[in-house]
Amino acid sequence: MSDPDWKNRVNRVVDASDADAVRREYDDWAPSYDADHLGFGGSLLTHFVGMFCRHVPRDAAPILDAGAGTGRMGSTLSPHGYDNFVGIDLSQGMLDIANDKPGYIAVHKMRLGDRLDFENESFAVAASIASFAPGHAGREAFDELIRVTKRGGLLVLSLRAGCEAETGFDARRNELERLGHWALIDELPDFVSHPEVDPPLRYGIHVYRRL
């Protein structure tokens, strides 16, 4: 059963003013993050897992989990046969929990939006759940995710929807497609992911092939 204070913890993250504040709030939230998420936002994980399993071969490795948090991606997908997840996140508190989850071979504190400390084409897949949103990772991080993904590999990205004026996600991903950096192969463009939050949050899930 989730703690009724979860809404306050969500609001503190949503209201965080800059990357340092976001990092501090997630460090504080880390111990109760998984328990809180039993009570809300489940449809984002469900739709993400559906899209991921539809497109990613089970032997694809390694897989970059961008904004890994406590490692819900690896722990949910490893029973489906996926392995070799590498998690990156701003918050060391969240990564410390991910590090003990099934599926992860490494976690690193890195900020999406900065240059990532990986060689070109290091990953078969780059994926992200709930980390691209206002105040969180921004559209400027797409180029680095593309750089570290192998040519022909996949990017499975959940992006907050319904706030294009703030994020510019759609404009940038369309521009990257026009520039020939990636090609859209599937998407659930816009659905209510967190009906429990007021106003409800929306996400899209977009699957790209790296060109």
Ligand X SMILES: C[S@@+](CC[C@H](N)C(=O)[O-])C[C@H]1O[C@@H](n2cnc3c(N)ncnc32)[C@H](O)[C@@H]1O
Which residues are near ligand X by CB under 6 A?
A: 19, 22, 26, 67-70, 72, 89-91, 94, 111-113, 129-131, 136-137
CA separation for the pair 3, 186 (Å, rounded): 36
Residues in the chain: 211
Which residue number places its CB atom closest to ligand X?
Answer: 69
Q: How far is the CB of 208 from ligand X (least distance, A)?
A: 18
By the 8 A CB rule, do 85 and 105 touch? yes
Quote the tokens at residue 54: 């539809």
Q: How far is the CB of 133 from ligand X (least distance, A)?
A: 7
Question: CA-CA distances (angstroms) from residue 103 to 4, 38, 118, 143, 207?
Answer: 30, 20, 19, 26, 21
Nearest CB to ligand X, comparing residues 87 and 153 = 87
User: Three-state SS string across 173-196, please?
Assistant: HHHHHHCCCEEEEEEEEEEEEECC
Nearest CB to ligand X, comparing residues 70 and 84 = 70
By the 8 A CB rule, do 90 and 111 touch? yes
Nearest CB to ligand X, comparing residues 83 and 96 = 96
Quote the tokens at residue 106: 């490494």
Q: How far is the CB of 39 from ligand X (least distance, A)?
A: 13
By the 8 A CB rule, do 73 and 51 touch? no
Nearest CB to ligand X, comparing residues 72 and 202 = 72
Q: How far is the CB of 180 from ligand X (least distance, A)?
A: 26
Q: How far is the CB of 184 from ligand X (least distance, A)?
A: 22
Nearest CB to ligand X, comparing residues 64 and 124 = 64
